[in-house]
Structures are given as structure tokens and as C-alpha cells.
Amino acid sequence: MLRVLLIFLFTSFAANAFSQSKPVRELAPGVFYYFGDELQKKSANCVWIIFRDYVLAIDANYPWGAEEIITEIRKTTDKPIRYLFNTHYHHDHTFGNCVFKDTGATIVSTEHTAEEMYTLGQYEWDHGTGYSGKDMSRYRREFPSLTFDKRLVFDDGTHRVELIKMGPAHTAGDGVAYLPKEKILVTGDLFVNGNPWGNNVDDAHADYEKWLNVLEAMAGWDVKIVVPGHGDPATSEHLTRQRAYLKDMLDQVSAGIKAGKTKEQLVNQIDLSRHPVYGENKVSIRRSIGDMYERLTKR
């Protein structure tokens, strides 16, 4: 009887653990995707590319997420992790930089992202427990030491990764990673897809109109797989859908402001139900509408 109970408890625990996470996937030969689990506070996705002599990783997650990611990388290769690219400055993408730095990685970002890490990112770090939900006292900040203005390319003849500045949009410094041979695009939070808290357009420093242009531009690239900042890999069609969602929200909020409506009225009245992919999380939608109102009225 005791043995049956132990087997049941182990099976239940394993099932519960699996329900909160997803296995690493190989998207193409030498290109791997780690699902950032929001429920476990390891929220940002990570991608790594195994070059001939080294590894390039994309986005650090939180420190405990970074530790897990590095463990997963080590299951796929023993080559050194030489570079870590931060797509933007936000806490869930950069707080784990120190863990990658300790493996010998050079932190890479756009120039604007590096600047934001010293300003807006410092505010997030100073309020680390509030953002991460965990004690940050035993970790430290690490900043990009390799930055670029518009584009930085890694190419060893087998893999080619183009780091491209696309911001301002979600943030001023947004950068993406494009793999033209594999036709894979890693977007950071310029695009999200099916995470527990819905879409991410509530960022206080977003440039919504330019964000629309960025989504439209990326949807026109030759891409088969789009890896979002959060959620599951998707296609270019999903970029078009997110653009439609964002534009609908922007149009309705702008019209409401012009009509003299309050933030509370717009939060309660705006209907985005015709966007089922991004419109399921009512809390996130309400927060996004409110933040968009604040952003537009402060111009």
C-alpha cells in the first residue's frame, strides 16, 4: 500500500512539474529553444546557436532561469558560451546576465539597450524582488560590453545570425536575431504568443506607432519560425495578428481620448474580443489599455 502511495505521489509530482514547463526543442540543426515558464518565474524564452567554436545565446532570463538554461545548453554541446545577446533591457531578459558572465560570456546589445540598462534597468534592479518575486541580493548586475548601432553579424560559414536594431517600439533599444539560412526570427518582446498573462503592450515606455511599423516590417521577412519573447514559437502570420490587435487597441484608445473619455471608461468599454489569440487575458488587456492611455496623454 505504501509503495502504491509513493508511486502515486511521484507520478502526480512529475505530471505537475511537466505541466509547468516544456522540454527544450531543436528548431534546426544546432539551434535550440528554451520555453520561459512564467509560472515558475523563469519567464523569458531563450535561444542558443551552436557555432563551430562557440555558442551564442539570446536572452538571459532571471538568474535561476539562466542557471537552468546553461544546464540545458551543456546537454547539447561542450563548446564555450562566448556571447549572450540581450534583446532589450527588461528584468526578465537581463537579470541573469551575471550567470552567463560567470561562464565567460560577453554580453551583447544595441547601444540604446545598454543605455536603458543604466537608467530604466537600474530602477528595475533596485526594485528587484518586486519584479522577480525572489531575493536578488546574492546576484549582481552585468552590462553589455559589446554594443552595436544598427547591425552585428556572427557567421562561421555554417550558421549566420544577424542582430538587428528594430526599436524604438516595445523599448527604445529593441533588437532581434535573424537566422537567414534557417529562416528563424527571435523577436524578444516585440512579439509574444500565448503566455499566461496575455499580450505585453502595456510597457510604460513603448512607442506604439513605431511598434506597428516594426511588426509590419518583420512580417514581410523570409521567416518560417518566429520565436517570441514569451510563449510558443509561431509564424509570420502571428506577427500580423499581433499588429492587428495592437492597432485596434491604439485606435480605440486614441478615439476615446479625443472624445474626452477617462481611463476608467476606456478600460471598461473597449472591446478587443475579435482578437482571440491575444484577447483572452482580461487582466492584461485592461492593464494595457490603462497604460496606453497614460502614455498617450503624457505626450
Q: What does 59-99 look like in DSSP terms, one character per residue?
A: ---SHHHHHHHHHHHHHH--S-EEEEE-SS--HHHHTTHHH
Average pLDDT across the chain, whole number: 90
What are the backbone angles phi and psi of residue 242, rounded to the nearest 5°?
A: -65, -35
**pLDDT over 80 at 275, yes or no:** yes
Cα(first)–Cα(last) distance of the chain, in Å?
68
| Per-residue confidence (pLDDT) for residue 286, from 0 to 100 | 87
| Per-residue confidence (pLDDT) for residue 11, from 0 to 100 | 38
CA distance 46 to 100: 12
Q: What is the mean pLDDT of residues 197-220?
A: 87
Reported as a pLDDT band with limits 50, 70 and 90, residue 12 is: very low
- If you average pLDDT over each of 2-11, 39-48, 272-281, which comes out highest? 39-48
| Per-residue confidence (pLDDT) for residue 109, from 0 to 100 | 98
| Per-residue confidence (pLDDT) for residue 110, from 0 to 100 | 98
pTM of the predicted model, to two decimals? 0.91
Query: Cell triple for residue 107?
Result: 554580453
**pLDDT over 80 at 15, yes or no:** no
**pLDDT over 50 at 216, yes or no:** yes
Query: Cell triple for residue 252?
Result: 480605440
For residues 57 and 83, the answer to whether their CB atoms sit within 8 Å is yes
For residues 74 and 48, the answer to whether their CB atoms sit within 8 Å is no
Give pLDDT tens digits for 64-81: 999 999 999 999 999 999
Cβ contacts of 17-20, under 8 Å, gap ≥ 24: none
Q: Which CATH superfamily is domain 24-235 in?
A: Ribonuclease Z/Hydroxyacylglutathione hydrolase-like (3.60.15.10)
Q: What is the DSSP letter of 105?
A: P
**pLDDT over 60 at 111, yes or no:** yes
Q: Percentage of the chain with pLDDT > 90? A: 77
CA distance 299 to 296: 6
CA distance 163 to 176: 6
Boundaries of every domain in the chain? 24-235
**pLDDT over 70 at 3, yes or no:** no
Bond before 168 cis per omega within 30 degrees: yes
What are the backbone angles phi and psi of residue 74, rounded to the nearest 5°?
A: -65, -20
Give pLDDT tens digits for 81-108: 999 999 999 999 999 999 999 999 999 9
**pLDDT over 60 at 13, yes or no:** no
Strand order from edge to edge, sheet including 225-227: 151-155, 160-165, 175-179, 184-186, 225-227
| Per-residue confidence (pLDDT) for residue 1, from 0 to 100 | 45
Counting Cα atoms < 13 Å in the Cβ hemisphere of 187 gives 32
**pLDDT over 90 at 4, yes or no:** no
Give pLDDT tens digits for 115-160: 999 999 999 999 989 888 899 999 999 999 999 999 999 999 999 9
CA distance 104 to 84: 10
Residue in the structure block whose three cell numbers are 554541446? 77
| Per-residue confidence (pLDDT) for residue 21, from 0 to 100 | 67
Q: Which residues is 151 bridged to in the sheet? A: 164
CA distance 57 to 161: 11
31, amino acid identity: V
